[in-house]
Amino acid sequence: MKNKFILFLVLFFAIFLISNFKNSKLERTNGAIVNLRKQHENFLKNSPFKKTLQLSKKERKTMGIPPNKYFERQWELTMDPTTGKPHPERLFTLQESLRLKNIASKVPGSAAWNNWEERGPNNVGGRTRAIMFDPNDATNKRVFAGGVSGGLWVNNDITNQDSSWELVDMPQNLAISVITYDPNNTNIFYLGTGESYVAGGVNGNGLWKSVDGGANWSKIFGGITGETTFQTNLKLIVNSPSSIIGEYQVTSAAFGPRITSITGNLVLSDDSSLSPTEACNTLTNNSAISGNIAVVERGSCTFVSKVKNAQDAGATAVIVVNNVIGPPISLGGDDNTITIPSIMISKEEGALIMQELDNGVNVTIEAVDSPFSGSFVTPGIQHINDIKVRDIGGGNSEVYVAVGESYYSNSTPVSLLGVQEYGLYKSDNEGVSWSEVLLPTTVDDNKYVPNDIEIGFDNTIWVSTNNSILFGDGGGTILSSTDGNTFTVKHTIANGDRTQISVSKLDAGIVYILAELGSEGSAPIYLAKTDDAFTTVNELIPPVDADTGIPDNDFTRGQAFYNLMIEIDPVSDNVIYVGGIDLFRSSDGGTNWSQISKWSNNNNLASLNIPMVHADHHILVFNPEDANQGIFGTDGGIYYGNDLTNATLSTSAISSRNKNYNTLQFYDGSIGSNLSSEKLIAGAQDNGAQFINNASSGVNASIRVTGGDGAHVFIDKDNEYIVTSYVYNNYFYLDYNTGAFKYAIAENDDDGDFINPAALDSDNNILYTSGNNKIYRYTLNAASATSSTMTNSLLTASPTAFKTSTFTTTTLFVGTENGKLLKLTNANIAGSIGGTVWADITGDMFYGSISCIELGETENDIMVTFHNYGVTSVYYTQDGGNTWQNKEGNLPDLPVKAVLMNPLNSNEVILGTDLGVWGTSNFNEASPTWFQSQNGMKDVQVTSFDIRKSDNTVLASTYGRGMFTAKFTVDNYNDDDDNDSVINGLDLCANTPAGETVDANGCSESQIDDDNDGVMNNLDVCPNTPVDDVVDETGCSIFNLPSNNFSIETISETCPSSDNGLVIIQTVESHSYVTTINGTTYNFTGDLTVDNLAPGIYNFCITVTGETYEQCFVVEVKEGTTISGKSSVTSGKATVEIEEGTAPFTIYVNGKETFETNSPIFNIAIKPGDMVEVKTAVTCEGVYSKTIELLDAIVAYPNPTRGNIEIILPISEQEVTIELYNIHSQLISKNVYLIVYGKVQLDLTTIPSGVYIAKVLLDKPLSIKIIKQ
C-alpha cells in the first residue's frame, strides 16, 4: 500500500486507548444547552480575572501580578461551562496514559515520510530557568538546558556559536524549571518541572530522573494527583425539614468572629425596599429576625452593610445567598463593630433552602478542619523550585527538592495549585522513596515554602523561602542544616517574599542574599551579605540600571517575583553577579557595581559598549573549570559569557547561543503564498513578531520585525504587505519583501484581549479585530489605514475567532466567547442600507467559547472548534449552518485551538490542541476516529494553523516549540492495494499477507503486537508480556539485564611501554558474574577492575552463573600518549589547544615559566620570535613547542568593522596584493595596496554587510575573515 498523506497514519490500538480516556460529555437536551449557555455567560461575567484583565502592565507589576495576561484569559476561555473552571488535570492524566501506552511516539507522523518539519526560528530562544554543564563531558562544552514550555535540549559545544541544540527525546513536552546531577554517580540526572513564579501560567508534572546521562527519562515523584475541587473550612448542615437535610458548602467572611459552631432557625430578611431581601437598609422585620439566623441575598450594597443591618435587628448570624451561578466566595470587607458570624452559600443551594423557609428551616454552621476558606484546589506537586544533591560520603547522596506552589493570581474564588503539598522533600535512595523534611514553622505556625537550595563549602544545606500563597507569610527567610534533618532559621528579612541566595565555594560563612520585598512603601528589593553565617548581616546597595525607564532602587523593574538572579564567582567571594532586566557584576563584594549587559539601545543604554542580552534573567551557571565563563538563562533563551571579567569593555563577551534552541512560545503564525520565496512569520511571547524571509527547507533563522509580545500575524496572499500586532488593538503594516515597518494600523491599548483575535481579508485589504462586544474594521492602504466599528444586537460578547471567506470576497464569520457563531455578508461595506448583513448561525448544541472557524470545500462547509474542557469540541455543517453535526467522535476532553481540512480530501481533518496535533481520516463519518498526528513536535500546545493553498503546506505555531510545517497530499486514497477489503485511506496495516483475516483497520494477527513485545499475535505464545521484559521468539519472558547494566571504562597506560592499563567494569545489578580477560578468569558480583594491561584490543564476554545470558564487549587500552596540540595567533595573543596530554599544563615563554592551567585551551601574550613550550603533568609525555613566526602576527582591526579596516603586516615589502571574497567564494575585488609602517588600509564602506575573506598574496597566501557591519 502506498503512502497516503503526510499528516495521517492511524495507530491500530489508538481507538481503544483514547476512548478509555475520553471524559464523559453527556448528550444534552436543547433546554439543558440553553441553561448551560446562561451558566457559562455568568461564569464569564463573574470571572475571577475580570478586574485584573483590565489592568495595564504597569498596574499589574505594582500589584505583584505577572504582566502577561494570556494565561488568565486562557483560564476563562478553557473553563468547563458546567464547573466554571478549567481542568488541566485531565490533560495530565491523558498525557500520562498515552505515554504509558506508548501511543505518543507511534501515532501519525511516526514514519520517516510523515514528519512535521521543524522550521524554527533557530536563532531565538524562549524562557529558560534550567541549565547544566554535562558532568560527564571532560571538555565542559556539552550543556543541557530546559525551556519552561519547550522541553529538554542539549548542545555539544556551547563555546561554538554555530553549535546547534538538539531536543532530548523525552516522553512529554515538559515545562522544565531546574536540572542537576548526582556527584556520586554523574549518570544520574534530576529534572524539575513547573514554574511557580508566573501565577498558574506554567504548571508542571513532578520530578523526572535519568540514569544514563540524560538519554532516557522517567517520572519518579509528584504530578497532579486528583481533580480540581472547591474546598472551604465551613459547612452548613440543614437539620430540617427532611426534604433538604444534608451538608452544604459555604464560605466565611473577612470580618466578624471566627465560627466554631452555631445552630438556629433561618428567617428571610426584609428592609421593605424594592429589593427587600438584599438587606441594604435597616430591616423592618426585627421581631422575626431577632434570635435567629438571617438570610439575605447578594446585591448592590457591601457585605458589611448587609451583616451590620442584620446584627442591628438581633440576628445571631447571617447567610448570604450568592446571586450568580457557581461556588460561593469569601465575604470581603472590614468592620470591627460586627460581632456576629456571616457566611455565603451558592445561588443554587441557597435557592433550595429559601424555597423551604415557610416550612421552617433549622441549620447548624460548623467549622471544618481545612486551611481553605473557599478556593478551587488542584492537588499534587506541580511546581519544583529547586533541586540539589548532597554528597554525604561513602559514595552516598541525598537529594533535596524544593516543592513550591502556585495560583491564578487575584482570582475570586482563588484557584490554588499544590498548596497542600509544598515543602522540602528528601530522598536518600536515589529517588526511590521520598519524605518531607520537617522545617521549623513561621511565627504564625505555618509551613515555609522553600525556594532556593544551596550546598555550602562545609556541606551545610541552605534554604531560602517564598511567601506562602495560602497564609501570606514565611517569605524572606533563610534556614540551614548540617545533618539534613534539623533546620534552624538563620535570618529573616522584614517584608521579604521571594528570596534567592548564593553561598561561597571557599568560605562556609559567606552567603549573599537577594530578595523581593512585598510591603507597599518599602524598597522593592533587598540585597545583603553575611561573612559569618548570619551572625552579622550587611545590607548592600543594589546596582542602578543605566536604563532611565528602570527605577534606581529596583533593577528588576517591579518584577522581582519573576526575574531575580544572584550568583557568587566560585573562585572569588568578592565577585558577585545579579540579574533582573539586565546583568551586573561586582568585584568588591557588592560595594560597587558594573553593568555588563543591556536589553536594548534606548535612552542611556545606547552609549554603553557592553553585550546586548535579552531582558529578564533567571539563571547563571559557571563553567566548572573556568569561572570567567558562564551561561545565562533569560526570557530570550541562552547566552554564553566567554570573558565575564571584561564584559564591561566588550560587546562580544556575552553572546547568544540559541541556534536551533527552538523553544519560542508562539501565539499565532502565518505562511506566505509565494513558493519561490517562502515567508513564515509568528507572534511570540515577549519576543515580538519573528519573520523568516526566503526560508529554506528545515530550520531557519528569523528577524524580529516588531517587538514586545508578538500576537496575531498575517502575510497578504497577494504578496503586497505583512501585518503584525502587539497586545490589545495594536497592529502594524510592514513591507512584504523585507518586513520593514511602514505604519501603525491601530494603536489602542484600551480595548481587545491581551492576545487579540483578528483576521485579514486579503482580497479587500481589510483587517478585522476584536473589541468589547464589537468588531474593529481597518481598511489598509499603502501608507495609512482607515477604521470603523461594527456592532449589532446579535454580537453580545467579545469575538474570540474570525474567518474571512475564501469563496466570496465579502463574507466574515465571527465566533464569540459565549459560543455564538455569526455570519456577516458584505462585511466590507459600512452603513445599514446595502451594508453588512448579520445572521446568527449558532448550532443548537453549541456552548463554550469558540476558538476557531474554518471552511471546507465550499462556504457552506463550516468547521467550528471550542477552547473549553467539558464540551463538544468540534462541529461541522454542510448547509451553511442550518444543521450541525457533532464531530467529537473519540476525541479526549482537551482544549482545541485550531482546525483545518485537507483541501484534497474532505475526509481528512487536523486539530491543534493543548496536547499537540490530532487528526482523523474519516471525518465524514458520524463519529470520526481521532488520533495524535504530531511526530516531530511532541505534545506541545498548538495555537494556530495556516495553509498555503498553492501546494497545501500547513504551518503550525506552537506555544513552546516554535513553528512546524507539513503537507496535505493524497495518493490512491480509495484504492485497496493489499486486497484486504479495507481502502488505503483507512488501512493501518499495509501489505497484509494474502488470505489473512483483518479487522476494521486492515490489520491481521500477523501485523498486530498487542503487548508490544516485538512478537506478533499469531506467533505470541505468551500474551500480555509485562512492559520492558525481554522475550524469546515465542513472546515469552527470558532472563535479561538492563541495557545499562554494564559500564565499561578503559584507562590507557600512563607512559609508552609501561603496560599499566586498566579495564574497569561497573554494574547496576548484583549477580554472580564471570568473565575472562587476557587469559585470566574473574568471578565478581559488583564492580571489577583488571589492571597491568598492555596496550591492545581486548575481547571479553560476561556471563551470569546459572542463566543463559552473555554480553560481549570489545575495548582498547591505548598506548601512553605524547603531548600534541595546535596553536594560532591573533592580535598579539597565541591560542594553544592541547589535543593529547595530561593536565595540569605548565606554560613557558622563552624558557620562563608563565602560568599553570587545567584547561586544554588557553591564551598567551606573545610577540614575533617567542618560543612557547607546554609541559604536562606526566614527564614522559614530552613537550609541545611553537615558535611564533612573523606571519603568525598578521591581524585585522577593527574587526567587525563598519567601513575602514587595517591589516597589520610585519613584513619588509612596500606593497601587497589583496583579494576580497564574499562568503560564497565570489571574488569582490583585487587590488595592490601600499604597506605604510607595516599596515595596509582597506575601505569597505561601499560593500553590503556580511562576512568576507581577505586573501593576502604573500609567498605563502594568508586568509583573514572580516565581518562588515
Question: What CATH class does 1124-1190 carry?
Answer: mainly beta
The fold of 1046-1117 is: Immunoglobulin-like (2.60.40)
DSSP character at residue 1092: E
Report d(CA 128, CA 150) in Å as an integer: 9
Provide the 3-class DSSP secondary structure of residue 377: strand
Global pTM exceeds 0.85: no
For the residues of 1159-1222, what is the DSSP string, one character each?
-SEEEEE--TT-EEEEE-SSGGG-EEEEE--GGGG-EEESSSBSSEEEEE--SS-SEEEEEEEE
Q: Which pLDDT band holds residue 1098 (cuts at 50, 70, 90)?
A: very high
pLDDT digits (tens, 9 = 90+) for 1031-1076: 888 999 888 888 789 989 998 888 888 899 999 999 999 999 999 9
> For residues 614 and 371, which has the higher predicted lDDT (pLDDT)?
614
Say if residue 6's pLDDT is above 50: no
Report d(CA 987, CA 255) in Å as an integer: 67
Provide the pLDDT for residue 13: 31
Report d(CA 655, CA 642) in Å as an integer: 8
User: One-letter amino acid identity for 415?
Assistant: S
Q: Are the folds of 1046-1117 and 1124-1190 the same?
A: yes
pLDDT digits (tens, 9 = 90+) for 828-875: 886 545 588 999 999 999 999 999 999 998 999 999 999 999 999 999
Provide φ and ψ at 625, rounded to 5°. -110, -10
> What's the mean per-residue pLDDT of the chain?
88
Say if residue 921's pLDDT is above 60: yes
Total number of residues shown for the chain: 1269
Break the chain into its structural domains and give their ranges. 233-369, 541-661, 1009-1038, 1046-1117, 1124-1190, 1194-1268
pLDDT, average across residues 916-939: 87
> For residues 283 and 904, which has the higher predicted lDDT (pLDDT)?
283
Provide the pLDDT for residue 51: 53
pLDDT digits (tens, 9 = 90+) for 577-603: 999 999 999 999 999 999 999 999 999
Which of 219, 102, 71 has the alpha carbon at shortest distance from 895? 71
C-alpha grid cell for residue 1050?
578503559
For the residues of 1100-1122, what is the DSSP string, one character each?
EEEEETTSS-EEEEEEEEPPPP-
For 233-369, CATH gives 3.50.30.30
Q: Which CATH architecture has domain 1194-1268?
A: Sandwich (2.60)
- pLDDT cut 70: percent of the chain above it: 91
pLDDT digits (tens, 9 = 90+) for 412-470: 667 788 888 999 999 999 999 999 999 999 999 999 999 999 999 999 999 999 999 88
Provide the 3-class DSSP secondary structure of residue 76: helix
Sign of CA dihedral 982, 985, 986, 991: positive
Q: Rounded to a whole number, what is the largest CA-CA distance in the chain?
A: 116
